[in-house]
Structure 1
Amino acid sequence: MLTESLTRKVGLIVSVAPLTLAVSAATAAATEKSPTQDNDTIMVVGNWLDDADPELVKAHAGARHVVREEQIEESGANTVAEALRLLPGVQVPENNGTGSGDFALNIGLRGLGSRLTSRATVLLDGVPLANAPYGQPQLSMAPISLGNIKAIDVVKGGSAVRYGPQNIGGVVNFITPAIPDDVAGRLALRSEMSTSDGEESRLNGSFSIGGTAENGAGALLSYSGDHGDGFRENNDQDIDNLLLKYTVPVGDTSRIEGRINLYEAEAILPGPLSSAEFDADPFQSTHSFERFDGDRQEVTARYVNEIDALSDLEVGVFASDSFREFTLANGNDSSLTRLDRLPREYQVFGIEPRFSRVSVVGDNTHEWSVGYRYIREESNEKRYRRSGAAGFDPTSVAEVLNRNTDGETDAHALYIDDRITLGNLELVPGLRYENISVSRTNLLTNFTDDEDYSELLPSVSASYSLSPSTLLYANANRSFAAVGHLALSTASDSSLEPERSDLYEIGARYESGPLGLDSTLFYIDFDNQIQYDASVGANVNIGSTRHRGLELALSYDLSELVLAGLSVDGSYAYTQAKHTSGENSGNDLRLYSRHTGSVGLNYRQTDWRMNLRGFAQSSQFADDANTVAASADGANGKIPGFSRWNLSAQRDLTLAGLDTQISFGIKNLFDKRYFTRASIENNGGLYVGEPRTAYIEVATTF
């Protein structure tokens, strides 16, 4: 399959490269004529997201948290979902429903629905990760593996002008490893196995090699794979992710950099359980036919011209070709009356130029940036159905095509912001304009639903440096999301209203000596929220919702107080997310916890590192009616809260002359049994959490 991916990728590279080189040639002359200003203290930031520079994160006028490679390794995390749980206020449920595999991502921010991460903009090195950022923003396939990530940057406030759409909850940016200066490589192998109940037996591997030549040209080839059985029956998966990064200098101040990303995943899905099935054996599977197949090929190129200390030009180009297919049952093997196969294909092309410039007016500085982004999306979505009497064998029945739709999107975004520094005060007003045309054509009836949207999205952020260690901040942002392909009509003109929201934050950040503190109060007004209603089998506007809460993060180095090398960190988030209109007004939104928290005890000494980490969340409702009693099919009822602990250790040593690291640990140390539900899909029901699992990993660098 990787061979096919490479073949398909050639077309994408051919389409992107000439445009990038044309941009390079067009700006080369201007670069030669641009005067370099001699200033030792003022430099343009331009791309403030980039590699999550610690100083930029510290100075950001909004809630922003980063988890880096070292923290991920010490925690024992093995998947992107596990790494995300290290971040304050980020809710990542166990795999459930159509996202019951590590090929998908379910990220919930501030009470916004976590299912397939439809309420946040998710990026890979600043480029949209979704199959179709406007038409299908969900991550039913998330084409990135943990072995190809060096940091995860979550920006919840102050980012709406630069990044969109679907940024109601904020921006999640996955950052890939940098190309090394010298030729270097790394090989890691990891084995996981359930030690109590469960079936888990997995093997993960990652490999990377790269370097930079004397002329500044460099490349990094990186592979990450996940193969084996999950902790439930009928739960196999095979994931391969190949990443090639490159950088090529094209002048004294400019370069072209980018990547080719190939991703493939296959998984057999265990399906949900009824209450009786769960009580009998929560690790069994009563579904024999459900599965997932998907692949994605992506190429990006970015022309960067650091014209001088005060001017910066970037032009990014990206293109992707994605395919994903679910096969889903409407019941377990004995009650099965329908089996659907749902193949979907997406092609996306985008281009985004941005220019930034610093100017000095008296004692004040202005860094203004202006950018434009165009995205073109095309999609095809089919559904093949097999039907029969309860318990029928679907392999004996022919498929019938009963859905075939094409979708198209043309989206233009123009944005401008100005970072104004007035002594210790910094103001960043900004404005984003979105113009979107989206359509969906029912190829079985030739009915087309065309919609056009135009929206002005203002934003303002402010921060004040109370002292070198203390930053106060506040911001207000407006966000907008057009109606996606699947929510458009296919039989009549009954279009939904697009989603709009306003976010407000106020917070403080302190960092001095051994202590770090971060606190944020937030408030979100969310209007016209779109949600799938299983009772009518369609997406609907459920009205307005209100989200408010508090997020706290703490870190403290205990070396001087208790023991050298000992530190503690923790986080807590309180979120209240309620319906404010409609029949469920006053009720909590489904599938989020009001209280979440974590605590970690870390010990580092010479060649040893040890980590004890606990995580807890409060109860959830599975439906918007806030039903407490459990249903017989397992799809509805209150979901109890739970806590769990992980223990890990790492040892550095030299083997055969190579720097080697051996890691081992236990996840869910006390074998806490917990579960979640998938209630909004045809295959709703109970999904058990991961049991106690042991792992060992060996990594070597060369």
Structure 2
Amino acid sequence: MESGRQQNLVTSPHQLALAISLAMAVSASIAQAEEPASLEALKVEGDWIGNPTKEKAKTYPGSRTVIETDELQESGALNLEDALRSSPGIQVLDETGTGILPNIGLRGLNPLRSERLQMLVDGYPIAIGPYSNVGVSLFPVTLPSIDTVDIVRGGAAVHYGPNNVGGVLNLHTRAIPNDTAQTVQQRLTIADESGNALSDTYYRIGGFVNDSLGLQFQANIQSGDGFRDHSDTEVRNFIVDANYFLDDANELDLSLQYYDVEADLPGALSPSAYKQDRTQSQRPYDGYDADMVRGTLTWIYTPSNDLELEWRNFAHHADRTFFFGQDLSGGSWADPEADATHVADSPRVFDVWGTEPRLTLRQGIHTLTFGTRYVNEQVDFDVNRLELSSGSYADVRRWDSETNAVALYASDTLSLLNGRLQVTPGIRHENVRMDFYDERSDLSYSNNASETLPGLTIGLQASDSLYLFADAQRSLVPVQIAQVSRGGDVANETAWNQELGARWQFTPALGLSATLFRIDYEDQIQFNKATSEYENLGETRHEGAELGLDWQASSQLDLSLAYTYLDTEQLTGDNEGNELPNAPHDHFSASARYRYLQWTASLHAHYYSDSFSDAANTEEETANGDAGKLPSYTLINARLGRDIALSGGKNLNIGFAATNLTDEEYYFRGADVSPVGRVPAPGRAFILEGRLDF
């Protein structure tokens, strides 16, 4: 790689830490001359990130994007993944078009199964195994139940871990309304190429039954097909929420959910089959069956504006199984051109519970946060195999594991210069022990991860229109069950995430943002399809720049632009000097929303440059499609909607949308149970939807 490509866009962790330390020393001297009485009488927030609003994001000391309710509703997005594309640094590989198995990556980190991203729902981890199985192979989230999306790319590692190298994606579900309200929504998605249709029905009722108790019920049912053959999908998602105020100081929040999905998976295609008909399937035995029962309980105690104790508790029982065809007669078992000799199923049963008390208090210029979390995960990790010729059925894998994880963290936000400068040093310590047992071979293995993870964020309101920030934090990803079991040279992963950025509000209608970022990864792990093992790539680097513009051109027209430049490099190992897989250099997004009377029209365009699909940076596509460069592509989504006021305060919104309007054909490489070949991304689809609020 050329020496010019190796220049750092952001300084090294040590240089940045030194610069921030100097800034802290200056801040401390300023603090000695300040009067604590200059602080505003605000209520402390136990959630360090704060409320998910665009206004709050403007003064967050890190790169952050908030997608609010109206943007989600009016985006015309095919699914939740599609709605995230406008955010800087995000890459989405849409495997199904139905949103049941998201592949989301940030800043060049592997997007497959969203395994490099800390995904939360209402602040709770949603991964099927928050420590032992961070890949989102079960995603109990549907788009209609989401109210706001909060994407925090930096500065959150101390308070939200582990697996937050790329950042934190927090999905906020619909809150209980003060007055009883109901929503009925119906959506029909029709794939242009195949004519397949997917129905999405949503209902919500909620409100406060008295001054103390609020209740809410949500139901979301999806049924139909994705855009390809062999893609029948059935989803059931039911959520019950309760909010109870015991008194002025004590609040309880409860949520119970049942999620169930059954789906056929069309899988990858050989290059020749893709060119013949990209909507077909060569994987007739591939399927997916999963369900989850999960619950959360939060107690919030706020005796004063300067003190908050929040005790969060969560648990889930999850059962998910992939079914997949295998050719065990020779060659690659997943070659889409080969006839399957066996059908395997891989049931995973997870029982997870965790508890996390967190205390936040303010003393003078200090806002102190202390927290601890304990998580226990018990997992049955099996594989069975059916031989098609004989009908014999046998177990081939019987793994059991238990993970115990304890985290301790603390931070101190110093409010200086009358609140215009905030400096937050923090530290997190993770201690993770995983005990693994293979019943068939009587093999046992233990992995211990004990890491101290420092962090520092600085935010400065330099003027009424200019906000500056810098942050540097260290993150941990423990070795995963699948990595332990397959052997190979793997170790716990750690990384430094650093940012330097600014936001300018030139006028009330025009705002700009710019962020330089760098991720220094140690011991990054990737799956090698050729050897069917996980391997340690060693040190890797991700760096680049994110630019954003938001302009309210008039009272009717909103415009936004976003651009991300990304440069990645493998710094050690056999592929030293190569780029990382699935890491396009350029990502450009443009959005426009126009309102006229009761009508709203929106248009979104997204461009991604080409990228490599393997660590070896294979240029020419292999015969079976398991490696080769991925093409660049441009997506355009459009929606036209109208609000219709009805009697009794009811409102009806009807909309028509077209996703991938130009029918761009693009693909990525195989994933998970179908790792060989091209996976077609969704072509053009039309969406008809109606929503009644009353």
TM over 0.5, shorter chain: yes
Q: 2:74 maps to what in 1?
A: 74
Q: 2:543 maps to what in 1?
A: 548
* 1:274-353 superposed matches below 5 A: 274-329=270-325, 330-332=334-336, 334-353=338-357
Change (3 A) 1:682 1:282: closer
User: Is 1:235 the counterpart of 2:231 in the alignment?
Assistant: yes
Whether the 8 Å CA contact 2:270–2:336 is kept in 1: the answer is no
Residue identity opposite 2:178 in structure 1: D
- Which whole-Å CA distance do the structure 2 matches of 1:42 and 1:612 have between them? 39
Question: Which of 693, 697, 700 matches 2:685?
Answer: 693
Question: Which of 419, 422, 430 matches 1:434?
Answer: 430
In the TM superposition, what is the alpha-carbon distance from 1:251 to its structure 2 partner?
Answer: 2.2
User: Is 1:579 the counterpart of 2:574 in the alignment?
Assistant: no
- Which whole-Å CA distance do the structure 1 matches of 2:212 and 2:79 have between them? 33
The TM-score, its normalising length taken from structure 2, stands at 0.90
Cα deviation per residue 1:120-165 (whole Å; 9 max; x = unaligned)? 1110101000011101011011111111100111111110100111
Question: Which of 196, 202, 208 matches 1:212?
Answer: 208
In the TM superposition, what is the alpha-carbon distance from 1:386 to its structure 2 partner?
Answer: 2.8
* 1:524-603 superposed matches below 5 A: 524-559=519-554, 564-603=555-594
Cα deviation per residue 1:339-360 (whole Å; 9 max; x = unaligned)? 2110001010100001111111
Residue identity opposite 1:602 in structure 2: R
Residue identity opposite 2:62 in structure 1: G
Q: Where does structure 2 lack aligned partners over 5 or more consecutive residues?
A: 1-36, 326-333
Question: Which of 461, 466, 469 matches 1:465?
Answer: 461
Q: 1:477 maps to what in 2?
A: 473
Q: 1:255 maps to what in 2?
A: 251
- Which whole-Å CA distance do the structure 2 matches of 1:220 and 1:198 have between them? 38
User: Is 1:674 the counterpart of 2:666 in the alignment?
Assistant: yes
- Which whole-Å CA distance do the structure 1 matches of 2:38 and 2:537 have between them? 56
Q: Where does structure 1 lack aligned partners over 5 or more consecutive residues?
A: 1-36, 388-392
Whether the 8 Å CA contact 1:88–1:571 is kept in 2: the answer is yes
- Which whole-Å CA distance do the structure 2 matches of 1:226 and 1:160 have between them? 35
- Which whole-Å CA distance do the structure 1 matches of 2:133 and 2:671 have between them? 21
Q: 1:30 maps to what in 2?
A: none
Match of 2:538, SS state, is: coil
- Which whole-Å CA distance do the structure 1 matches of 2:671 and 2:628 have between them? 9
Q: 1:662 maps to what in 2?
A: 654
Whether the 8 Å CA contact 1:300–1:319 is kept in 2: the answer is yes
Deviates most, 298-307 or 331-340: 331-340
In the TM superposition, what is the alpha-carbon distance from 1:338 to its structure 2 partner?
Answer: 3.2
- Which whole-Å CA distance do the structure 1 matches of 2:74 and 2:540 have between them? 38
Q: 1:224 maps to what in 2?
A: 220
Q: 2:11 maps to what in 1?
A: none
Identity of aligned residues (%): 31
In the TM superposition, what is the alpha-carbon distance from 1:239 to its structure 2 partner?
Answer: 1.1
Whether the 8 Å CA contact 1:635–1:679 is kept in 2: the answer is no
Q: 2:499 maps to what in 1?
A: 505
- Which whole-Å CA distance do the structure 2 matches of 1:53 and 1:617 have between them? 27
* 1:156-171 superposed matches below 5 A: 156-171=153-168
In the TM superposition, what is the alpha-carbon distance from 1:223 to its structure 2 partner?
Answer: 1.6
Whether the 8 Å CA contact 2:458–2:469 is kept in 1: the answer is yes
Match of 2:163, SS state, is: coil
Deviates most, 677-686 or 650-659: 677-686
Whether the 8 Å CA contact 2:566–2:585 is kept in 1: the answer is yes
- Which whole-Å CA distance do the structure 1 matches of 2:560 and 2:62 have between them? 20
Match of 2:313, SS state, is: strand
Whether the 8 Å CA contact 1:296–1:323 is kept in 2: the answer is yes
Q: 1:624 maps to what in 2?
A: 615
Cα deviation per residue 1:225-261 (whole Å; 9 max; x = unaligned)? 2211111111111111111111111222111102112
Superposition CA RMSD, Å: 1.9
Whether the 8 Å CA contact 2:188–2:689 is kept in 1: the answer is yes
Q: 2:31 maps to what in 1?
A: none
Question: Which of 350, 359, 368 matches 2:363?
Answer: 359
Q: 1:17 maps to what in 2?
A: none
- Which whole-Å CA distance do the structure 2 matches of 1:452 and 1:292 have between them? 32
Whether the 8 Å CA contact 1:145–1:225 is kept in 2: the answer is no
Residue identity opposite 2:662 in structure 1: F
- Which whole-Å CA distance do the structure 1 matches of 2:643 and 2:477 have between them? 48
User: Is 1:113 the counterpart of 2:110 in the alignment?
Assistant: yes
- Which whole-Å CA distance do the structure 2 matches of 1:681 and 1:525 have between them? 30
- Which whole-Å CA distance do the structure 2 matches of 1:474 and 1:335 have between them? 55
The TM-score, its normalising length taken from structure 1, stands at 0.89
- Which whole-Å CA distance do the structure 2 matches of 1:338 and 1:534 have between them? 19
In the TM superposition, what is the alpha-carbon distance from 1:679 to its structure 2 partner?
Answer: 6.3
